[in-house]
């Protein structure tokens, strides 16, 4: 019985540390872009899409683990590899605890950005819903997938098979 209590305390402590984001990930929290201003998000205009090779303009952020990019003249929905954020948009499910905060953080970091969407050769190119599977990097080099885990906006998520950065 004592061992079970110790395990619960250890687990709770780990959650607190993850929620505080105490430098657990490779990319320090200080690399996060400055907070977006309080001005409303700009509407995406395809004429403004990046022409930088390897980068794609973010059309919109659906939630903390899904976004839409402009790729080759089309809107492509991207599901991020290795993370899962609390649900906020699935009409079949209630909004989950901390979901609005995770979604807001994703919007703050990605809205108006040009990002690199990098596939993982160990994964399928698309998931069962037709979403492109990728890692997202901001122009600053920030690895968005990993960054979202440190402060607790997302948790590690493996769907089916191990992925490239799973052990990090």
Q: Check if 131 is active-site.
A: yes
Active-site choice (79, 105, 116, 146):
79
136: left (phi over 0), alpha (psi -120 to 50) or beta: beta
Does residue 87 have an active-site annotation? yes
Q: How far is CA 140 from the centre of its chain?
A: 15
Query: Considering all CA atoms of the chain, what is the largest pairwise distance in Å, rounded to the nearest integer?
Result: 64
> Which member of 60, 131, 156, 164 is catalytic?
131
Report yes or no: 79 and 128 within 8 Å, Cβ to Cβ. no
Q: Which of 87, 105, 116, 146 is catalytic?
A: 87
Is 60 annotated in the active site? Answer: no
**Nearest of 115, 99, 9, 18 to residue 63 by alpha carbon:** 99
Residues taking part in catalysis: 79, 87, 131
């Amino acid at each position: 019985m004592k061992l079970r209590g110790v395990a619960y305390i250890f687990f709770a402590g780990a959650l607190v540390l993850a929620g505080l984001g105490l430098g657990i990930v490779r990319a320090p929290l200080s690399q996060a872009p400055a907070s977006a201003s309080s001005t409303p998000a700009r509407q995406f205009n395809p004429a403004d899409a990046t022409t930088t090779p390897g980068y794609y303009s973010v059309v919109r952020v659906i939630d903390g683990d899904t976004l839409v990019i402009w790729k080759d003249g089309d809107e492509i929905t991207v599901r991020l590899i290795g993370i899962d954020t609390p649900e906020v948009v699935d009409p079949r499910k209630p909004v989950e605890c901390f979901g609005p905060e995770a979604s807001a953080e994703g919007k703050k970091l990605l809205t108006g950005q040009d990002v690199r969407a990098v596939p993982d050769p160990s994964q399928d190119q698309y998931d069962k819903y037709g979403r492109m599977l990728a890692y997202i990097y901001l122009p600053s080099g920030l690895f968005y997938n990993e960054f979202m885990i440190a402060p607790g906006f997302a948790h590690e998520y493996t769907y089916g098979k191990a992925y490239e950065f799973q052990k990090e």
